[in-house]
A = this chain, B = another copy of it.
């Protein structure tokens, strides 16, 4: 059924895209606009849970939701296809299997891993990028363990796991690994003293920019569970089985994962947007600069914090809040009303350090540690499920691990 209603096309079913779509269905009547959601897969996944998939703590299906389970396909047209580029000139999205006209466009295509040109990193390291890449990491690690006792001369380093990058994802990932590696040792009859978990960070300390006291807590907690840290270690090259750091020292491992950097989706540059460090610096309204019908959200956007003259950190929390401003502003455009500006409401940040430990800040920089923080982290994780699919989805996919 073709219509003359304006068509809103949302690209990407991540936090920002899903929430924008959901809010548009609430803020607009079916007569006001046609809504189309385009996504590569027929599922949404929790990007902030991917490190748990990569460590084997949770299975893929806990970290994803079928889009049609939370978005009514009778209200929103769901298109499962890959975006090739956006043609701003004629208001078309080029998909792998066809074109799609838009009146209003929301680009929420998420991040791509950035290796900063480190030699061999793209070829030899795994990335915690999406569902497919993350679950391959866990299977790769498990295979190293499954293989070990069958080797005539097993190499201990094959059971070492190297994690490049001591930021949020890298630290949360080694926290999960510290839980999973002892289980793999028991499962495959391997001496628990053989495997190693090594986090390599170029900056003088892991989690650069984070509160020092919290970082010290995280480091101590993880070291007590066997994680090794190499801070101030600049990776010169990633070989098939090693990082080369500093003055040529090699750190060997059977599994190498790079978590050290992200950038905006490469569709942005293919579509002719002006980029700053791989992302588009958007207006306060979240409109792309000099565009009146293209919004850019989530990890594709830099949204400036004018008070501090730097962008807000690109988190799931931000992405979800972008959706509120974006959907409100699309409604305003349809009604010829003034647009609102994005205001970030910082609810805090908590980093998980494994099953029952975490650290972070909530409400006006109150510091949290240990089980309290871990409990808060699960509340945060479950909150998105609640926003997305209400109590039913929260019960089905939520985190209620006892500790």
Contact = CB atoms under 8 A, between A and B. Distances in A.
List the 9 closest pairs (A to B, CB-CB), nearest first. A139-B146, A132-B149, A136-B146, A139-B143, A143-B143, A132-B150, A136-B150, A135-B146, A133-B150
A140 interface: yes
A187 interface: yes
B147 A136 contact: yes
Interface in A134-161: 135-136, 138-140, 142-143, 146-147, 149-150
A210 interface: no
A41 B149 CA distance: 12
10 contacts: A41-B189, A132-B188, A135-B188, A136-B146, A136-B147, A139-B139, A139-B143, A139-B146, A139-B147, A140-B146
A265 interface: no
A60 interface: yes
A128 B188 CA distance: 16
Interface string A184-199: 0001110000000000
A133 B189 CA distance: 13
Which of A41, A60, A136, A188 has most chain B Cβ within 10 Å? Answer: A136
A82 to B, nearest CB: 13
Interface of A (DSSP majority class): helix
Interface string A170-203: 0000000000000000011100000000000000
The number of times this chain is found in the oligomer is 2
Interface residues of A, number: 18
Interface in A337-371: none
Contacts of A133: 150
Contact of A60 (B41, B136, B138, B187): B187
A260 B136 CA distance: 31
Which of A60, A138, A149 has most chain B Cβ within 10 Å? Answer: A149
Interface string A244-269: 00000000000000000000000000
Contacts of A60: 187
A149 B133 CA distance: 8
Contacts of A149: 132
Contacts of A139: 139, 142-143, 146-147
A324 to B, nearest CB: 31
Which of A60, A135, A140 has most chain B Cβ within 10 Å? Answer: A135
Contacts of A150: 132-133, 136
A391 B183 CA distance: 29
Contacts of A132: 149-150, 188-189
A363 to B, nearest CB: 40
A349 B136 CA distance: 40
A136 B60 CA distance: 22
Nearest to A137: B146
A142 B142 CA distance: 10
A129 to B, nearest CB: 9
Given A138-B146, A139-B146, 12 more contacts: A132-B149, A132-B188, A135-B146, A136-B143, A136-B147, A139-B139, A139-B142, A139-B143, A139-B147, A140-B143, A140-B146, A143-B143
A133 B147 CA distance: 8
Interface string A107-144: 00000000000000000000000001101101110110
